[in-house]
Amino acid sequence: MNLITRKEIKDAKLIVVKVGSKILAPQNDGHLLRFASLAKTISQLIDDGKKVILVSSGAVANGRAVLGFTEKTNNVSLKQACAGVGQIELMNLYRKEFDKYSKPIGQILLSWDDLREKNRYLNLRNTLWAMLENGIVPIINENDSVSVREIKIGDNDTLAGQIALVTNADLFVALSDINGLYTDNPKTNPDAKHIKVFAFQEINAREEGNDVGTGGMATKLRAANMVTQAGITAIIGDGFNNDLISVMNNEELGTLFSPQRERMNSHDRFIAFTDRIDGTVLVDDGAKKAILSGKSLLPAGIQSVIGDFDEGDTISLKNGNTVFAKGITDYSSAEIDKIKGRKSAEIPQILGSNRRDFVVHRNNMVVL
């Protein structure tokens, strides 16, 4: 597969931009100028006929400033209070800057439940498109003031990647003080080389413990890997010292991540990256080979079942130590445990009925 170029991304019609908290924190000099730059460049892109969704961090940092707190806190309730105060400050600052270009803004605060529950997922997509079609700039953040561990997304890189999937964006841009991907950690190795264009097919996503995955890079790499698997181009670049359009156009100011495949459809994107995974089925080599060739999962190729799930739930398909596909199961975990390793013709005798000859149909399965 050929690597994509900066010139090719100029055709992107829908862009999801994620802005890191370091760019917007009052504790960092020049944050108001960066707010102004964001509004100016996003407005320029919109005037050029593009649609832009902004995923913005910075609520807690701005809330601390408004409340006069000089030190960070690990107290969850206090951080959530800061987020509630800071979110208002963020939106006031954005509105002031976007008003200069006659661009209305709209706030959306999300948790995992808004993405993983199918009806809410579809409603979010419809809301975003309604806002974009009416010239509104959606500004999205996690609902930190009420999020608890069970529904917390955890980082805005993941949230922004999910928004790119929801809307089938053409381009995902993550802005921070990081100038993209390097051959090593540039903070500790002055000889580290900047990687201008990268394909995950060549070297799969780096783990968090890797030198390249330090300083906030790990979550950005995971988000870039996710969206490129869905066929969306990604850029990670330095938006602290540079404006958005420069990061998009100048190969020295970030790393361009090429899509790993053709565009996934909405159904497949939801299964692969958003839907809640309720369990895992371990399959043998023959079943994996059949699935990779486009066939459904039959009970004969199943070795074991992990988790407790029902018919209609989404599960991972695993071979050895690798999850290679996800899909919607037509049988519960208890039923699969009874028919694993058996021929499809034996299902009625074992279960007393035969809803399907397959456990996961190829039309409800996505190979990763």
DSSP 8-state symbol, 273: I
**Is pLDDT at 131 greater than 90 in this prediction?**
yes
Contact partners, residue 321, CB within 8 Å, separation at least 6: none
Contact partners, residue 51, CB within 8 Å, separation at least 6: 13, 14, 15, 132
Per-residue model confidence (pLDDT) at position 145: 66
Fold of 8-268: Carbamate kinase (3.40.1160)
Q: What is the mean pLDDT of the chain?
A: 90
**Mean pLDDT throughout 298-325?**
97
User: Are the CB atoms for 13 and 151 separated by under 8 Å?
Assistant: no
Contact partners, residue 327, CB within 8 Å, separation at least 6: 271, 297, 314, 315, 317, 360, 361, 364, 365, 366
**Mean pLDDT throughout 223-239?**
95
User: Could you tell me which residue, 123 or 184, shows the higher pLDDT?
Assistant: 123
Per-residue model confidence (pLDDT) at position 2: 64
Per-residue model confidence (pLDDT) at position 343: 95
**Is pLDDT at 208 greater than 80 in this prediction?**
no
Per-residue model confidence (pLDDT) at position 147: 59
**Is pLDDT at 213 greater than 60 in this prediction?**
no
Q: Residue 331: pLDDT band by 50, 70, 90 thresholds?
A: very high
Per-residue model confidence (pLDDT) at position 204: 44
**Mean pLDDT throughout 321-335?**
96
Q: What is the pTM of this model?
A: 0.88
User: Are the CB atoms for 205 and 249 separated by under 8 Å?
Assistant: no
Q: Which residues of 189-214 are buried (b: 16+ CB within 10 A; e: fewer)?
A: eeebeeebebbbeeeebbeeeebbbe
Per-residue model confidence (pLDDT) at position 304: 97
For residues 327 and 315, give the distance between their C-alpha atoms in angstroms, rounded to a whole number: 6
**Is pLDDT at 207 greater than 60 in this prediction?**
no
DSSP string, 13-45: SEEEEEE-HHHH-TTSTTHHHHHHHHHHHHHHH
**Mean pLDDT throughout 28-49?**
96
Domain boundaries, the chain: 8-268, 276-367
**Is pLDDT at 211 greater than 70 in this prediction?**
no
**Mean pLDDT throughout 170-192?**
90
Fold of 276-367: 2.30.130
Per-residue model confidence (pLDDT) at position 203: 45
**Is pLDDT at 79 greater than 90 in this prediction?**
no
Q: Tell me the per-residue pLDDT of 52-75, one tens digit each, with 9 for 90 and over.
A: 999 999 998 999 999 998 888 788
Comparing CA positions, the residue from 218, 258, 219, 251 lying closest to residue 237 is 251
**Is pLDDT at 210 greater than 70 in this prediction?**
no
Q: Residue 146: pLDDT band by 50, 70, 90 thresholds?
A: low
Q: Residue 153: pLDDT band by 50, 70, 90 thresholds?
A: confident
